[in-house]
Amino acid sequence: MKTLLKLACLTLVWGLIPWQSVRSSEMKIVDFSDREELQKWLVVNDTVMGGISEGQFLLEDNNGIFFGMLSLKNNGGFASIRRLLSTPVQSQAQRISIRVKGDGGRYQFRVRTNREFDSYAYQVSFNTIENEWLTLFFEPKDFIATYRGMVLEKVPKLALEDIEQVGFLISEQQQGQFSLHIHSIKFLAEQ
């Protein structure tokens, strides 16, 4: 009898307390468990301007892995990957979530609002902790517009529903081997 009374009280109390957590819907834009996902990513290294850095991308254990060797020779010093989006971003999207495991280096998450190869990007930098998974959240205000390393002032503010490409870049004089595991990239909409 006491157990039933406790259960009834808990049910009554829970019904009166407003739900405190924020509920959100999410749009997952990559599926690293799909082997065809590998074909959707483009590697762009400093070799396009004479450098010799070697960035690569592969799939392993349902993660994307961006890895390679960054070299500062021949005025180089960057490696990147990017992907065109297959479906439009929902207009309700308010932030982006990425889940990554790095090597202790600093990386950029980059988005573009067009499908062009050589255009400005919106970027946000993040630090990794060696061998530790991190879930990071970004809002449009966190991104800055850049073109070839220069900050741009006279471009529209980022609207998530305009994003056509996503990607990652390593630079900032971080010479040597690098490795970034990517588990997910999601657009989140608060409900």
- Would you give the distance in Å from CA 16 to the centre of its chain? 39
Q: What is the dihedral of CA 125, 167, 52, 65, to 10 degrees?
A: 100
* Digit-coded pLDDT (tens) for 12-30: 333 333 323 345 688 888 9
* Digit-coded pLDDT (tens) for 28-37: 889 999 999 9
CATH number for the domain spanning 117: value is: 2.60.120.430
Per the listing, tokens 């998530």 go with 160
Which structure tokens are listed for 174? 């971080």
* Digit-coded pLDDT (tens) for 127-150: 999 999 999 999 999 999 999 889
pLDDT at residue number 24: 60
For residues 176 and 42, give the distance between their C-alpha atoms in angstroms, rounded to a whole number. 21
- Domain presence at residue 46: yes
For residues 82 and 166, give the distance between their C-alpha atoms in angstroms, rounded to a whole number. 6
Q: Which helix (H) or strand (E) holds 123?
A: strand 121-127
- Domain presence at residue 4: no
Measured in residues, the chain has a length of 191
- Domain presence at residue 66: yes
- Domain presence at residue 163: yes
Structural contact between residues 178 and 79, judged by C-beta atoms closer than 8 angstroms? yes
Domain total in the chain: 1
Could you tell me the end-to-end alpha-carbon distance of the chain, in angstroms, rounded to an integer? 39
- Domain presence at residue 13: no
The mean pLDDT of the chain is: 87
- Domain presence at residue 41: yes
* Digit-coded pLDDT (tens) for 54-100: 999 999 999 999 999 999 999 889 999 999 999 889 889 999 999 99
- Domain presence at residue 168: yes
- Domain presence at residue 95: yes
pLDDT at residue number 19: 29
Give 186's DSSP letter.
E
Instruction: Provide the residue range defining the domain that includes 162.
Output: 23-190
User: pTM to 2 decimals?
Assistant: 0.85
